[in-house]
């Protein structure tokens, strides 16, 4: 069985391997022992906190194969972004050049640096071992964050964002960054990517152009990738779009990947998931159901067909194996959604 739970200190080696496997552009998991340890420590502290409103918490989850004990994926939520470390984006806008005298009317796309998402919550750090990508694990890693947010909404902001990985090649070179490098920087994309990952963002405010950039002045390759996602990120974007996330013109400063957003209460899983008591019994359902317990430090979630939704009694029937994995007993309330 595959179970999602909060990360713990003993998962360090597995998290480091995920950081290595994730490759260039996955800035939220830098290959840096000190920073990975600090992420684990911060997550443990966040899950342990009694929270009445969202603040500087970071919740890092892992997906464990309980048969082998292997960690096969990770996913995370930042309760608030941009408060301690600035969060920068480009916003795509338009500027009109109009001359009635010459009968000329031109519309030019612009990129303006901003901090518009300061104070939002962010879902991030989703990665799944390639060998497990054909089943339901990827969808569970994505949707489990919304189950947790639905169960504990006081811990999160009204607006939720997700920064999607932009276009880069196998060596980590970004066409968009290449233009910035040629005109404003002397460091390559993997170096900038690494600096962001370890929290060194001072160079952004020091070197980034402060005035709007005319997109038509960029090279053709750079223009073509604005708002586009990395090939490996397309499935994740589709999952978020099904949840109601939309792209409203904000893109990453470095690879121009899109940032998508949704209101917490409007996210499909948040809206449609239900909280019912459970009854433990031998059961074989005919559909997959994603389910989680109501705990914080002891949070557990999984997807299984050993579940039956009894709509007549508003009761969720779950098998002993599912109950054991979720750490629940008869009568405990669980949150669930059809998968």
Which of residues 171 and 313 earns the better pLDDT score? 313
Candidate from 23-37, 53-67, 310-324 with smallest mean pLDDT: 23-37
- The pLDDT assigned to 84 comes to 85
**3-class secondary-structure state, position 323:** helix
Report the C-alpha gap between 270 and 238 in whole angstroms: 17
**Taking a C-beta distance cutoff of 8 angstroms, is the pair 56, 84 a contact?**
yes
Which tokens hold the place of 56?
Answer: 């500087």
Tell me if residue 215 falls in helix, strand or coil: helix
- Give the containing element (helix H, strand E) for 27: none
The DSSP call for residue 14 is: H
Categorize the per-residue pLDDT at 337 as very low, low, confident or very high, splitting at 50, 70 and 90. very high
d(CA 61, CA 77): 9
Per the prediction, the chain carries an average pLDDT of: 90
CA distances from 311 to 104, 302, 314 (A): 64, 21, 5
User: Which of 78-82, 149-153, 172-176, 260-264 is the least confident region?
Assistant: 172-176
In whole angstroms, give the CA distance from residue 40 to residue 46. Answer: 10
User: In b/e form, how buried is each residue of 214-235, taking b as 16+ CB within 10 angstroms?
Assistant: ebeebeeebbebbbbbbeebee
Taking the C-alpha atoms of residue 46 and residue 55, their distance in angstroms, rounded to an integer, is: 10
User: 104-144 pLDDT, tens per residue?
Assistant: 888 889 999 999 999 999 999 999 998 888 888 999 999 99
Q: Is 54 a catalytic residue?
A: no
| Catalytic residue (choose from 54, 89, 230, 308) | 230
pTM of the model: 0.90
CB 336 within 8 A of CB 273: yes
Q: What residue ranges do the domains of the chain occupy?
A: 2-86+117-206+213-269, 273-338
pLDDT bracket for residue 257 (50, 70, 90)? very high
pLDDT band at 174 (very low <50, low <70, confident <90, very high): confident
CATH number of 2-86+117-206+213-269: 3.40.630.30
For 152, list phi and psi in degrees, rounded to 5: -135, 60
Q: Residues 66-92: what's their mean pLDDT?
A: 92
Give 273-338's CATH code, choosing from 3.10.180.10, 3.40.50.300, 3.40.50.150, 2.40.40.20: 2.40.40.20
Grouping H, G, I as helix, E, B as strand and the rest as coil, residue 100 is coil
Same fold, 2-86+117-206+213-269 and 273-338: no
């Amino acid at each position: 069985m595959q179970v999602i739970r909060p990360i713990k200190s003993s998962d360090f080696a597995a998290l480091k391997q995920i950081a290595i496997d994730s490759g260039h552009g996955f800035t939220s998991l830098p290959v840096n022992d000190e920073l990975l340890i600090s992420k684990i420590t911060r997550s443990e502290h966040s899950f342990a906190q009694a929270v009445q409103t969202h603040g500087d918490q970071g919740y890092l989850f892992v997906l464990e194969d309980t048969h082998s004990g292997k960690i096969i994926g990770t996913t995370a939520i930042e309760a608030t972004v941009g408060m301690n470390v600035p969060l920068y984006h480009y916003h795509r806008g338009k500027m009109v050049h109009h001359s009635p005298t010459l009968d000329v009317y031109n519309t030019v796309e612009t990129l303006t640096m901003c901090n518009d998402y300061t104070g939002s919550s962010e879902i991030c750090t989703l990665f799944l071992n390639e060998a497990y990508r054909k089943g339901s694990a990827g969808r569970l890693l994505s949707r489990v964050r919304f189950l947790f947010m639905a169960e504990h909404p006081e811990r999160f902001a009204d607006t939720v964002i997700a920064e999607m990985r932009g276009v880069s090649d196998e060596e980590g070179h970004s066409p968009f960054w290449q233009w910035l490098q040629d005109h404003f920087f002397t460091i390559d994309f993997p170096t900038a990517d690494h600096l962001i990952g370890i929290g060194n963002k001072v160079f952004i405010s020091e070197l980034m152009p402060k005035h709007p950039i005319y997109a038509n002045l960029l090279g053709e390759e750079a223009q073509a990738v604005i708002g586009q996602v990395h090939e490996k990120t397309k499935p994740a974007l589709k999952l978020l779009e099904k949840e109601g996330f939309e792209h409203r013109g904000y893109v990453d400063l470095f690879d121009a990947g899109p940032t998508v957003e949704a209101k917490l209460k409007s996210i499909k899983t948040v809206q449609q998931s239900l909280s019912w008591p459970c009854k433990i019994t031998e059961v074989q359902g005919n559909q997959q159901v994603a389910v989680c317990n109501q705990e914080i430090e002891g949070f557990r979630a999984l997807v299984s067909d050993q579940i039956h939704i009894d709509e007549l009694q508003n009761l969720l029937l779950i098998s002993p194996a599912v109950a054991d994995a979720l750490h629940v007993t008869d009568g405990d309330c669980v949150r669930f959604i059809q998968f």
